[in-house]
Structure 1
Amino acid sequence: MKTLLVTGGAGFIGSNFIKMLLENEQWRIVNLDALTYAGNLETLQDIDDPRYVFVKGDIRDRETVESVFATYDVTRVIHFAAESHVDRSIVEPDVFLTTNVLGTQVLLDAAKRHWNLRPDDKHSRDYSEGVKFVHVSTDEVYGTLGPDGLFTETTPLAPNSPYSASKASSDLIVRAYHETYGLPVNITRCSNNYGPYQFPEKLIPLMIQRAERGETLPVYGDGQQIRDWLHVKDHCVAIWTVAERGRDGDVYNIGGNNEQANVTIVRLILELLGKDDSQITFVTDRPGHDRRYAIDNTKITTELGWRPAYTFDQGLRETVDWYVTHPDWIDHIVSGDYAHYYDKMYAKG
């Protein structure tokens, strides 16, 4: 059985991806996750499948990464692992640079060494059949848009936050390993994800939990920052489509065709919860806050046949319902209890 390495599989998108793949494909999946604050193994606790293996480890640790490749004979990588919250990157940029850039380079080195048919030949560009490294990135690497236009795969990179700069840097490292060494890679750049199991510092789950508790809903600036919203399940299908059929070396933008202003999202959540706008409080905007993102997903739809299945109305309604009916999950996150799940399940007695 072929083995897929998923980095950051205990995170929001990674955990949804693992569940989707186990339901639909015959791969062994190794989930390598350092279990930082956003990694939550409780999200995966219902998996009872011998094809699934969890390894606690940091992608910056070469020994651990090399061991995973050698032990499990990894033939494909889906690389989610990253520090990803813009606000945190403003306060702690060094963590974002080491994890997102150096960690990616460690993974690329391991893939090149294990997949190259002549690893001791620096000129060799021959790799085992079917291997692929898929780097999951973000539309934030493109910077910000005006009122018109869309990000395409050829839009110049112009990141405006330490987070997006670290992701742009990792994108370029991935590209360089393809151009220099011939490593089979793809880069995907997605718009804002939403759906179940998202860490509640992100806009949609944050607003749902605060609204439910009757707390104020802080909205940056005037709330007119526009994002293209993509349901996490649509994103997972798109990533696997790229892994299976993407042209080596190519970038694929993944968007949901759902542009919405932040304050509009907040008001829709309040409406779905049967509450009014009185909880909204406008607060000082964060530094370097991009005004608008919007994805042109023509390439992946025309070349690979992927299209988003969720309408935003359907996706948001289901997402709000999920958080409302899973208060224990939210409470564990807010209290920090989720962080003890690994020790409870895996600690040696």
Structure 2
Amino acid sequence: MAVVSPSRIKYEHLNEFFDSKNVLVTGGFGFVGGHVTKHLVDLGANVTVVDINTDPQRDSILNCFSMDLRSKVLIHEADVVDATAMKDIIHEGRFHFIFHFAAYATVIEKAVAAPYDTIMTNTMGWVNVLEACRTAPYKTSMIFLSSTDKVYGEMEGDSYSEHLTPLRGIGVYDSAKLAADVFSRTYHEAFGLPTVTLRMCNIYGPYDFNLGYRLLPKAMANIFGEGEPKSPELYFDAIEHHRDYLYIDDLVNAILLLAQPQKCRGEVYNLSAGTYMPTPLMLKTIVEQAAEVEKEFDNDRAELIMNNGISVRVRNTTSTVHAITKQHLNGAKIKDATGFTPDTDFMSSLKETIRFYRNYMKTRNDGC
């Protein structure tokens, strides 16, 4: 008899929970925000999306023609840094739930290049959401913040724990998210706002179009881009890095489960990882699985992908990027609160994700 996880049992009740609820998703045209939006629409919610770029030509799951998500949501093009815009949208929307994913520079290289914009969006954008909720005539049931494992800084010991590990993030992106993380608790304690904060790890899955920076999409651009396949790049200083990885559907499951219990209000949670591994091993696995996928179409090209392997590069010596060596989240608290545990098989989900990118790169259609 198959064992069904507690999270799957609770997930079956999400349709009733979110049906006909008014929900706001900021950053809804991004990778995570887009997937959350799709799930909420499927669950019957009335979804409003805010994003700084809502262009119909933008690569996003919301612009996938076959899903027709744009016609099923209300779209506002606005910057979360604009306090007036956020106040107007939130006051008029009378939202039951708010999911905040809008962010600038979700990778450290971009944050270093634009520190002010990173801080304004990742910290003050969240404060603007909180202020709009604080002054709204209609009180929201839950306000969710997408935080990051980077708020902890360099890991000592085996893993990060919510109330045992000090917050020592020092990079621009890390500190901006850390400040937002702290404001979640402040606005809950001082004003009673029902915040929920989730410190997330590295997420993979289809429809992540950050091809220039994130590990998997960037590797896909090298392997399946125009011309002959190229070796995915690994910076020399990342050889010792270890990271958590979780499939996007598991992340969405965790986020939606956190919206249900009242006991989660005012709390911060670590996201349970599906897989914890060294970055070189992750990139090696990506190459191997990409070759396996390519064998279904072109054996010679598949062999070339394997032969190319990984290209190790030395980072520019003038770079001010300082990456954390090891990041691993202890997910016991979220499991206790919601029953959430990752359900997706790593290899099969990685292979399906790679198959999506191959199709997207080869056809350059809307990725559907």
Range of TM-score over shorter length: 0.7 to 0.9
1:223 shift after superposition = 2.2
Q: Which residue of 1 aligns with 2:287?
A: 270
- 1:115 and 1:264, CA in 2 relative to 1: closer, same or farther beyond 3 A? farther
Report matched runs for 1:192-231 at 5 Å. 192-198=202-208, 199-200=210-211, 201-213=213-225, 214-221=229-236, 223-231=239-247
- Equivalent position of 1:338 in the other structure: none
Tell me the residue number matched to 1:319: 353
Distance 1:115 1:17 in 2: 26
Separation in 1, partners of 2:337, 2:231: 45
Instruction: Tell me how far apart the structure 2 counterparts of residues 180 and 58 of structure 1 sit (CA, whole Å).
Output: 26
1:313–1:292: structure 2 CA closer, same or farther, 3 Å change rule? same
Equivalent residue, structure 1, for 2:144: 134
Number of the residue aligned with 2:160: 151
Please list the CA deviations of residues 91-124 of structure 1 after superposition, one character each: whole Å capped at 9, or x if unmatched: 11111001111111111000111157xxxxxxxx
Q: CA deviation at 1:278?
A: 3.2
Return the offset for 1:73. Answer: 1.5
The 5 Å alignment of 1:1-349 reads: 1-23=20-42, 25-35=43-53, 40=58, 42-45=60-63, 46-48=67-69, 52-83=73-104, 84-114=106-136, 128=139, 131-146=141-156, 148-154=157-163, 155-198=165-208, 199-200=210-211, 201-213=213-225, 214-221=229-236, 223-245=239-261, 246-274=263-291, 275-276=305-306, 278-285=308-315, 287-327=321-361
Render the CA deviation track for 1:283-335: whole Å, top value 9, x for unaligned: 224631111111111111122111111121122111111111222686889xx
| Unmatched 5+ stretches in structure 1 | 117-127, 334-349
| Matching residue of 2:10 | none
Scaled by the length of structure 2, the TM-score of the pair is 0.81
Question: Structure 1, residues 148-178: CA drift from partner, whole Å, max 9, x if none?
Answer: 4111111211113111110001111111111
Give the conservation status (yes or no) of the 8 Å contact 1:10–1:35.
yes
Is the CA contact (8 Å cut-off) linking 1:4 and 1:74 kept in structure 2? yes
CA distance in 2, matches of 1:250, 1:277: 48
Change (3 A) 1:33 1:288: same
**Could you tell me how far 1:50 is from its partner in structure 2?**
6.2
What's 1:342 paired with? none
Q: CA–CA distance in 2 between the matches of 1:114 and 1:157?
A: 31
Shift of 1:205: 1.1
Secondary structure of 2:353's partner? Answer: helix
Does the Cα contact within 8 Å between 1:76 and 1:132 map onto a contact in 2? yes
SS at match of 1:282: strand
CA distance in 2, matches of 1:303, 1:332: 38
1:204-263 Cα deviation digits (max 9, x unpaired): 111122022422322112523110101111111101111112521111111223111111
What is the SS of the residue equivalent to 2:168?
coil
CA distance in structure 1 between the aligned counterparts of 2:69 and 2:276, rounded to whole angstroms: 38
Structure-2 change in CA distance of 1:312 and 1:244 (3 Å) = same
**Alpha-carbon separation, structure 2, partners of 1:8 and 1:151:** 27
Separation in 2 of the partners of 1:90 and 1:277?
A: 34
Secondary structure, aligned partner of 1:273: helix
Paired AA for residue 216 in structure 1: S
CA distance in 2, matches of 1:111, 1:50: 27
Structure 2: where are the runs of 5+ without partners?
Answer: 1-19, 292-304
Distance change >3 Å, CA 36–CA 283, structure 1 → 2: farther
Distance in structure 2 (CA, Å) of the matches to 1:236 and 1:55: 22
Could you tell me whether the CA contact under 8 Å between 1:135 and 1:186 is conserved in 2?
yes
How far 1:276 sits from its partner (Å)?
2.1
Cα distance in 2 for partners of 1:152, 1:180 equals 24
Find the residue that maps to 1:244 and give its secondary structure. Answer: coil
1:35 Cα deviation (Å)?
Answer: 1.6
* Partner Cα separation in structure 1 for residue 215 and residue 41 of structure 2: 29
Aligned-residue Cα RMSD (Å) equals 2.3
Question: What is the number of residues matched between the two proteins?
Answer: 318
Contact 1:217-1:279 at 8 Å conserved across structures: yes
1:187 is paired with a residue whose SS is: strand
Q: Which residue identity is paired with 2:127?
A: Q
